[in-house]
Amino acid sequence: MRAPVTTHILDLVRGRPAARVAVKLFSGDELLSEGVTNDDGRVEDWQSEFTLVPGKYRLEFAVEPWFAERGEVSFYEDVHISFRVASVDEHYHVPLLLSPFGYSTYRGS
């Protein structure tokens, strides 16, 4: 069964997935779960199961260590993406498109 929230990271400089990036999922200030991107840059399986309720959520991506492993300097220590869950009957996919000096996101499917 697919987690109610998934994400993936694409390295825009290389056009490749960003593997082994630590990601945390919060509901308000409460840490719901943690994960690490797989070889395809995706977090589909979280360390802890969680149930969505309507409200505000936040994904935190630890990107600075990932860039440092590649010998690159990043403007960002981490990237936070806040989003709202309106309907618990929907799946929420929140991608991150990343470079050392910029990022973008969107509501995926």
> What is the per-residue pLDDT for 1?
67
Under 8 Å between Cβ of 64 and 76: yes
Backbone angles phi, psi at 57, to 5 degrees: -130, 165
What CATH number corresponds to the domain at position 83?
2.60.40.180
- State pLDDT tens for residues 8-38: 999 999 999 999 999 999 999 999 999 999 9
Backbone angles phi, psi at 79, to 5 degrees: -120, 130
Per DSSP, 90 falls in state S
> What is the per-residue pLDDT for 2?
78
Average pLDDT over residues 51-63: 96
Q: Write out the residue range of the structural domain in which residue 52 sits.
A: 5-105
Give the integer Cα–Cα distance in Å for 76 and 64.
6
How many domains, the chain? 1
Average pLDDT over residues 1-12: 92
Average pLDDT over residues 76-82: 97
pTM of the model: 0.94
